[in-house]
Amino acid sequence: MAPGPRLSTPPQLKPGTCRVVPLGGIGEVGRNMTTFELDGKILIVDCGVLFPEETQPGVDVILPDFEYIRDRLDDVVGVVLTHGHEDHIGAVPYLLRMRPDIPLIGSKLTLALIEAKLEEHRIRPITLTVREGDTEHLGPFECEFVAVNHSIPDALAVALKTPAGTILHTGDFKMDQLPLDGRITDLRAFARLGEEGVDLFLTDSTNAEVPGFTTTEKEIGPVLEGLFARADKRIIVASFASHVHRIQQVLDAAGAHGRKVCFVGRSMVRNMGIAAKLGYLDVPEGTLVDLKEVDRLPDHEVVLMCTGSQGEPMAALSRMANGDHRIQLDTGDLVVLASSLIPGNETSVFRVVNGLMKLGAEVVHKGMAKVHVSGHASQGELLYCYNIVRPTHVMPVHGETRHLIANGRIAEATGVPGENVLLTENGSVVDLKDGVARVSGQVECGFVYVDGSSIGEITDADLKDRRILGEEGFISVISVVNRQTGTIVSGPDIHARGVAEDDAVFDDVKPRIARALEEAVQSNADHTTHQLQQVVRRVIGTWVNRKLRRRPMIVPVVLEA
């Protein structure tokens, strides 16, 4: 088991072979999307977004790369959505912009969440509601849906039965034996599928490095109760806007201590409204209050349930930490971060924590108290899963490279041959034929950045420019030359931002730029404007690097008199 060399374009797909191509979610925690192709038809499992890191300034979300299927959208028989988290459904609106009538298949809550999202995009989808135990035929794929336990209700695994072999995709899952809704991962169904023969097993890798078993959700309730009991001012709980179980526990703790709960943040209000309407959230009468009513209540009767547990800059908690939210935090307020840290978000989260503590708030997070448990299977659960399913081939999904490798090692420990553990990356092509799965090639698969109304127009080069602007500053140099006399008519005028405290520092380099320009024009009157600008760029770039130890963005402008 080892990542192989980058492969070439895969061969033409033969009849009876099922081709599996992940377009996101491999080597990262987010934008999960995998395509399955058989006999000219394509089934998609999940279509989510990835949230940007600090090295991607200005980016709202990152989409899977649809280029692989862009010219084949008419062949898509449906999109199976395993559950309602953003990293599994968030990119659906962008896919349906390309073909609005692609059927969406999922559980009741999952489809309700995506329908609400699509309404904002003015798209009315075609949907098919399924539940555990159901079997549906989507083109050449026979899909059996299996209950799995996760940090959102109604999550499903899907078994794809094809002439090429059987594929079992877990989606995100864990094996909480005491879930709040009583809905456990259906290991009996996993065992039955294993007895029938699972040829390719796609397994959640997120917690593959974590020993033991993921803590049960029921252990969180008493901890929250204890925090609520000792708090004498406002309580602010930050969580994912889709974590119905955690929000139920907050509602229960608030009710037990005579507090009212206010949902803060558009996604939180929308999602919890859907969950309550469908019966997934039990809201005692009189518990919820509107944000407008909070100011009229004494502090010891208030619980604010908000978004922003991952340090998102525009989320409610971040704005509270920055002092630019209508809720102004004060000394003695208790803030509970009821979520795990998504890899890559650590810096953003602790910046928010520091901001909250500067305002005098007490902050409790997972590292200090058991206020959150993961929604993903740890090593012990994965071992059980492999021993129950006994797959022929394993393809770890949903995780960074270290998670995928750790998951593969667990599979090997249970007897899966190393050569049958397929470590892939986004764009890898896995072909399954007669129950045998092999990596057969690679297709182009990049990042698609959403920046405001721009989709896919922002490149890595643009992001590099933004990082340079943010970290090193900006210099513009404007000069006017007379080609006939070979002299500088005006300038060079230098304007800088974020480079030096005073533009006077550039007085030393101006004569050097002027001399270099004059020499260039006099030596060759046919120099293009671009060539003259490059002369300016080299002179000031070298000077700034040596004198100021900076590498700013330089925009030279050379005009002709």
| Cβ-proximal residues to 99 (8 Å cutoff; 6+ apart), any chain | 73, 74, 76
Q: What is the residue extent of each domain of the chain?
A: 18-212+374-447, 217-364, 460-560
Q: How far is CA 301 from CA 231, 256, 332, 460, in A?
A: 10, 11, 14, 49
Topology agreement, domain 18-212+374-447 and domain 460-560? no
Distance in angstroms (rounded) separating the CA atoms of residues 90 and 92: 6
Q: How confident is the model at residue 121, as a pLDDT?
A: 87
Work out the percent of the chain whose per-residue pLDDT is above 70: 92
Q: What is the pLDDT of residue 53?
A: 66
pLDDT of residue 325: 84
Contacts of 455 (CB under 8 A, 6+ apart): 63, 94, 448, 449
Residue 120: its pLDDT value, please?
87
Q: Tell me the C-alpha distance between 258 and 251, whole Å.
A: 10
Angstrom distance (rounded) from CA 115 to CA 270: 11
The whole-number pLDDT of residue 406 equals 97
Is residue 265 within 8 A of residue 238, CB to CB? The reply is no
DSSP secondary structure code for residue 17 in this structure: P
Superfamily of domain 18-212+374-447: Ribonuclease Z/Hydroxyacylglutathione hydrolase-like (3.60.15.10)
pLDDT at 345: 65
Identify the pLDDT of residue 265.
84
Dump the DSSP string for 140-179.
TEEEEEEE-B-SSTT-EEEEEEETTEEEEE--S-B--SS-
Token pair 């081939």 is found at 393
Which CATH architecture group holds 460-560? Answer: Roll (3.10)
- Cβ contact 89:47 at 8 Å: yes
The pLDDT of residue 517: 84
pLDDT along the chain (561 residues), means of 10: 67 94 93 96 95 68 91 96 94 95 97 94 95 97 97 96 97 93 95 97 96 92 91 90 90 92 90 93 89 88 85 76 84 86 70 87 81 90 97 96 97 97 96 96 87 69 67 82 77 80 78 84 76 85 82 84 73
Right CATH for 217-364 from 3.40.50.10860, 3.40.50.300, 3.40.50.10710, 3.10.580.10 = 3.40.50.10710
What is the DSSP secondary structure assignment for residue 465, as one 8-state letter? H
Q: What is the pLDDT of residue 313?
A: 64
| pTM (whole model) above 0.75 | yes
DSSP string, 31-75: --EEEEEETTEEEEE----B---TTSTT--EEE--THHHHTTGGG
Amino acid at 260: K
**368 and 337 Cβ atoms separated by less than 8 Å:** no
DSSP symbol at 222: H
Cβ proximity of 306 and 268 under 8 Å:
yes
